[in-house]
C-alpha cells in the first residue's frame, strides 16, 4: 500500500510512467481522493487556492454534467480517415453541399433568364438602327434562325412575353422554395 502511495506521489510529480497505476486511479475513488489531497497540499503551499475553498468534490458534478450533455459533449476519438469522420461532421458537409447545391440551381436559373432575355430582347432588336450587331444563335437541333429587323415581330413579341412570364413564374417558384427550406 505504501509502495502504491509512493508511486502515486511520484506520478503526481511526473517522475514515473505507470500505466497500471493510472488505470487503477481512474476507477478507484479512494485513490482519487488521495490524489486530490496531495494536489491540495501543493496548491496551499503555493497559495493557489481560492478562499474559501470550493467544494472538494466538484469533479463528480462536472462528470455528471458532461454525461448529462452527452452525446454533444462526447470527446470524439481522433481519426484521420475521411470515411471514419464523426457523423456530426459528415452531416455538416452534407448540409453544406445541399445549401451550395441550392445556390447553384438558383444561379443557373438566373443565368438562363439573363441569356434568354439578352437573346430575345425587343429593345436590342428594335434599337438596331445604330448598326450594332444583332445577337443570334445556332440551335442545337440544326438550322440557323436569323434575328433581324426583317423578322415578323408581332407574333414573336407575344411568344416572347409568354416565354418571359413562364420563366419569371419558374424563378419565383424556385425562390419561394428556397425561402421555405430551413
Partner 1 sequence: MSERDLDFQLIQRIQNGEQQAFTLLVRKYQNRVANILTRYLRNNGDLADVTQEVFIKVYKSLPSFRGESAFYTWLYRITVNTAKNYLTSQGRRPPSADVDVMEADSYDGSEALREADDPESVLRSQEIKHVILQTIEQLPAELKSAITLRELEGMSYEEIANIEDCPIGTVRSRIFRARDAIDKQLKPLLEN
Please state, in angstroms and as integers, the Cα–Cα distance from residue 87 to each residue in 40, 79, 81, 83, 91, following that order: 40, 12, 13, 10, 6
Residue 2 Cβ, how far from partner 1 at the closest point, in Å?
8
End-to-end CA distance of the chain: 61
The set of residues, in sequence order, having a beta carbon less than 8 Å from that of 118 and lying 6+ positions away, is 124, 135
In this chain, which stretch among 5-13, 127-135, 148-156, 166-174 interacts with partner 1, using CB under 8 A? 5-13
Residue 12 Cβ, how far from partner 1 at the closest point, in Å?
7
Q: Does 129 bind partner 1 (CB under 8 A)?
A: no
Q: Does 88 bind partner 1 (CB under 8 A)?
A: no
Per-residue interface string for the shown chain with partner 1, residues 18-57, x marking contact by CB under 8 A: -x--x--xxx----x-xxxxxxxxxxxxxxxxxxxxxxx-
Residue 94 Cβ, how far from partner 1 at the closest point, in Å?
21
132 with 115: CB under 8 angstroms?
no
Q: Does 77 bind partner 1 (CB under 8 A)?
A: yes
8 with 31: CB under 8 angstroms?
yes
Distance CA 153, CA 114 (A): 20
Residue 37 Cβ, how far from partner 1 at the closest point, in Å?
5
Q: How far is CA 49 from the centre of its chain?
A: 42
| Residues contributing to the site for partner 1 (CB under 8 A) | 5-6, 9-17, 19, 22, 25-27, 32, 34-56, 58-59, 61-63, 65-67, 69, 73-78
Amino acid at each position: 500500500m505504501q509502495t502504491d502511495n509512493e508511486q502515486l506521489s511520484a506520478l503526481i510529480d511526473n517522475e514515473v510512467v505507470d500505466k497500471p497505476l493510472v488505470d487503477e486511479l481512474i476507477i478507484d475513488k479512494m485513490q482519487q481522493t488521495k490524489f486530490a489531497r496531495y494536489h491540495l497540499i501543493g496548491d496551499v503551499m503555493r497559495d493557489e487556492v481560492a478562499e474559501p475553498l470550493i467544494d472538494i468534490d466538484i469533479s463528480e458534478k462536472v462528470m455528471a454534467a458532461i454525461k448529462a450533455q452527452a452525446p454533444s459533449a462526447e470527446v470524439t476519438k481522433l481519426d484521420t480517415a475521411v470515411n471514419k469522420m464523426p457523423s456530426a461532421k459528415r452531416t455538416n458537409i452534407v448540409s453544406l453541399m445541399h445549401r451550395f447545391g441550392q445556390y447553384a440551381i438558383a444561379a443557373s436559373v438566373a443565368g438562363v433568364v439573363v441569356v434568354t432575355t439578352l437573346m430575345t430582347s425587343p429593345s436590342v432588336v428594335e434599337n438596331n438602327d445604330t448598326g450594332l450587331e444583332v445577337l443570334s444563335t445556332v440551335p442545337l437541333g440544326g438550322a440557323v434562325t436569323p434575328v433581324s429587323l426583317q423578322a415578323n415581330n408581332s407574333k414573336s413579341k407575344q411568344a416572347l412575353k409568354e416565354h418571359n412570364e413562364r420563366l419569371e413564374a419558374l424563378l419565383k417558384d424556385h425562390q419561394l422554395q428556397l425561402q421555405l427550406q430551413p
